[in-house]
Structure 1
C-alpha cells in the first residue's frame, strides 16, 4: 500500500538589494509613503530633532564627525523604508549611532550610549548621579527599564542593518572638501565654511541622493555664494569660485558632476538655513524642556532640542534674496534615472517590523541595486 508523502513547504527565499543613492523623485516618493498623517513641516521638524539629538549625543561621547554624520544618514535611510508612526525617533537615533560606531571602528556599548542619552533627555537624573563625567549611572536605575531600552535599540539595529544590506562601506564628503578647496584656490575661511555646510548637508537627504564628491563640491559652491552675494568687497576666491561653478565648464567632466546638481543641493541648504534663521529669530529663550517625555511622539510640540543648523550667520531676508537670484539664473534640471529597475520600497515591506529579532526563511543581501549586482 502506497502512502502519500507529505512534503513541507519550501522555506521562503528572497533577495534585498542595497541602494547607495536615490533620485530626488525616489526619496520624495518613499518619504511620502512613510510620512503617514504627518505634514511635511512636521516630518522635517522630527528629522531635525533626531539630527540634533545624534549630534548632541555624539559630541558628548566624543565621536568624530564621520561617526555622527553616518548616523544621521542611517536615520534618514531608515525612514525611507519604515513608517515614522511605528518608531520613536530617539530609539532610532540611538540605533543609528550604534551602527555607525561599528562602521567607523569607534564602538561603544549600548549601555554607554543609553547612559549619555538619559543625561540629555532627563537632566534631573544627572543631579542624582554620582558619575564624575556628569552622565546618568544606569546601575542606579531600574534594570528592567534599561534592559527594555537596550533590547529595543538592538531590535531596531537589525532593521537598520537590513536597510543597508549589511554593507558597512561608508564614504564621506569631508576629505573632498579640503582637496577641492585647494584645487579651486579657496581661502582657508571659505574652506572652513564649506566644511560646516557639509556637516549641515547630513541634516538633509542630500547624502542619500548624491555621491560624496558632489556633496563636497556643492558645499564649496554654496559657501562661495554665501560669501560673495551682495558683498562686492568680500572674499576674492569666493567670487571666482561662485562664478566658475555657476556655469558650465570643463570642471564638470573633470569632477564628474553637473552644474544643476550643485544648484539643487544649494537650494536644499538655503531652505534649511532659512528655516534655521526663522527659528532662531522666534526663539528668545531656551526651549529645551526640563523633563521631556520618556516616549516622545513625532507630533510633540516639545522637542528634545530645537533644530539649529551650525551655519546660521545670515538673516532670513538675505538668504531669500540669494535663493531668488540663484533660481533666476539656474540651469534646467535634468531627469535622473534610478540605479535599479525595481521600486526600492518594495524590497522592504512593512512586514519586516513584525520580524524583530527573528529569522524567517532565507534572505540574500546584495551590495548593489537590481541590475548591478551579480545573481548566483
Structure 2
C-alpha cells in the first residue's frame, strides 16, 4: 500500500510550525508582582535599614554565587540553580539583613542554602539532606575536601537552620512557587527560528542566562524577556540575523518588546565591561551596548524580507547542509549510472584478463616446477656445506692467471695507463 494512501486513511497531517502564543494572563499577572523598577531596587528593606546599596548588591552576589557553588557540588541542573536564585532575590525584597530591635537577622549564606533546598523540591531534583548540608558546610568554610560528620555541631547547626528557615522563606514569598526558568523559553525560541543546532549561538545565549543569575535581572524583567535578551546578545556576538515573518521581526513574534531587550543587554553590559579579561585585554562584550531608542529597522539581529543576507541566517546553516547532501547524492547517482552503462565492457575486460592469467600459468607450469626443484637442491647443498664447516666461497676454483705477453711479462691492471698502453 503506498504511503500516500496510508496517510490519507490514517488522517495524517504534516507538522506545522506553530506561532508562539502570548503569555498566560494569569501567570503574567502573578509574575508582575515580582517585577520592580530600578528606583525600587534602591529602596529594599536592607537599604532602608541603613545598609549601603553597594554592600547590599555585594551580599546578593555572594549569596547567588554560594547557590551556584553548592549546586555544582551536588550536580544540580542549571534550571534548579536559576529558580533558587529567584527565590533568594525575592526574599531580600521583603526581608532585611540588618539587625534591629533585638532581631537577629539571617546570614545571606543561610538564606541561599534555604532557597536552594526549596528549589530542589519545586524543580523535582531532590538531594538527600545530608548531602546538601555537607556541601553547604564545605562551601561556607571554603574547604571542598573537609570531612563533615553527621555528629558534629556544624552539621546540626546548618541542618536546623535550613529546616527552620524554609517556613520563613515560604511565608515571605507568599508561597508563590510558580517560577519559569528562562532556559526553556530561550531553547523554544531557538527551535522556532530553526537555530537550535547552531552550537556557538546556543552556547553564547546559555552563558548570558547563567551570568544573569548573579544579578538582579530577574527582578527587573520577566523570564521571557531575559530569554529574548540572551538570544539577542548571542545573535549579535555570532553575527546571526533572523528573518522577518509576515513583515514582523522575530522579537514581536515572541511577544517581547525590543526596548526591554536592549535595556536588559545594557544592564548586563555594565557588568561585563567592568570585569577585565584574564589576560588583561579588553572584554569581548564591549560592543554589546545598544541605544534603547535606536530604530528597530536597523537592528543587527533582524533580517528583513527585502534585505540581502549579509551575514549567515539561522536557517542558512540547515539549507547549506541540505544542498550539500543533495549534491553528494546527485554525484553518487551519476557515478552509479556511468558504472551501469559501462558495466558490460568492464565485465568483459575482467573476464579476458582472468583467462590470460590462467593461460600464462599453464604455460609456465613446467618451468616453475623445474626452478623450484633446482632451488631445493641448491639449498640442500648449502646446508650440507655449512654443517661440514666449509664456506661456500672456498669450494669455488681459483680464477686462472692472466696470459703472458710477447716479452714474457704478465700484464697487470695497475700497470695499464689511462690510454690503455702498457707502461715500460
TM category, shorter: 0.5 to 0.7
Alpha-carbon distance, 1:124 to partner: 5.4
Task: Identify the structure with bigger relative contact order (alpha carbons < 8 Å, sequence gap 6+).
Answer: 1
**Structure 2 match to 1:327:** 291
Cα distance in 2 between the residues matched to 1:22 and 1:193: 25
Query: Which whole-Å CA distance do the structure 2 matches of 1:22 and 1:60 have between them?
Result: 31
Change (3 A) 1:35 1:62: farther
Unpaired runs of 5+ in structure 1?
1-16, 130-135, 228-234, 283-313, 333-376
CA shift at 1:98, angstroms? 0.7
Q: Which residue of 1 aligns with 2:187?
A: 178
Q: Which runs of 5+ in 2 are unaligned?
A: 1-29, 99-104, 297-424
1:281 CA displacement: 7.0
- Measured in 2, the distance between the counterparts of 1:95 and 1:331 equals 45
Question: Aligned equivalents of 1:224 and 1:34: distance in 2?
Answer: 37
Q: Which residue of 1 aligns with 2:265?
A: 266
Residue 150 of structure 2 corresponds to which residue in structure 1?
138
Q: Does the 8 Å contact 1:34/1:80 carry over to 2? A: no
Choose which of 28, 36, 55 in structure 2 pairs with 1:23.
36
Q: Counterpart of 1:327 in 2: which secondary structure?
A: coil
C-alpha separation in 2, matches of 1:34 and 1:151? 28
SS at match of 1:120: helix
Q: Secondary structure at the match of 1:81?
A: coil
State the match for 1:101 in structure 2. Answer: 120
2:135 to 104, 113, 116: 116
Runs of 4+ in 1 over 6 A off after TM superposition: none
Q: TM-score, normalised to structure 2's length?
A: 0.54
Deviation at 1:49, TM superposition (A): 1.4
C-alpha RMSD of matched pairs (Å): 3.2
Q: CA deviation at 1:219?
A: 0.5
2:81 to 54, 57, 68: 68
For the residues of structure 1 that align with 2:144 and 2:37, how far apart are their CA atoms?
43
Contact 1:34 1:82 in 2 (8 A): no
Point out the structure with max Rg over C-alpha.
2
Tell me whether 1:153 sits opposite 2:162 in the alignment.
Answer: yes
What is aligned with 2:61? 48
Distance 1:25 1:126, change over 3 A: closer
Asked whether the equivalents of residues 86 and 218 of structure 2 are also in contact (C-alpha less than 8 Å), the reply is yes
Matched, 1:222 2:233: yes
1:58 deviates by 0.5
Q: TM-score scaled to structure 1, two decimals? A: 0.60
How many residues in Structure 1 have an aligned counterpart in Structure 2?
Answer: 258
Please say if 1:199 is aligned against 2:214: no
Measured after TM superposition, the shift of residue 265 of structure 1 is 0.8
| Alpha-carbon distance, 1:70 to partner | 0.6
Q: Which moved more, 1:186-195 or 1:108-117?
A: 108-117
